[in-house]
Amino acid sequence: MLSTTRLEKTSSIRGEEVKFLMNQLMKNCGSGGYSKVDLNSKFYELSFNVMTMMMMGKRFYGESVEDIEEAKIFQNLMREHFELVKKADPADLFPVLQCVDLFGTQKKIIANAKNMDKFLQKLVDEHRRISVSTKMKTLIHNLLSLQETEPEFYTNEIIYGIIMVRSP
Q: Quick count: other Cβ atoms within 10 Å of Cβ 1?
A: 10
Distance from the Cα of residue 118 to its chain's centroid: 14
pLDDT at 100: 76
Q: How many angstroms from the chain centroid is the CA of residue 78?
A: 8
Per-residue model confidence (pLDDT) at position 118? 92
User: In this predicted structure, what is the pLDDT of residue 51?
Assistant: 87
d(CA 124, CA 158): 12
Total of domains in the chain? 1
Check residue 134 and report its DSSP letter.
S
Domain that holds residue 11: 4-166
- Please list the rounded mean pLDDT of every run of 10 residues in the chain (168 residues): 75 89 81 78 89 87 86 92 81 76 79 91 86 67 87 87 74
Positive/negative CA dihedral, 42, 85, 117, 72:
negative
pLDDT at 140: 85
pLDDT of residue 71: 92
DSSP string, 36-54: ---HHHHHHHHHHHHHHHH
Which pLDDT score, from 0 to 100, does residue 167 have? 63
pTM: 0.76
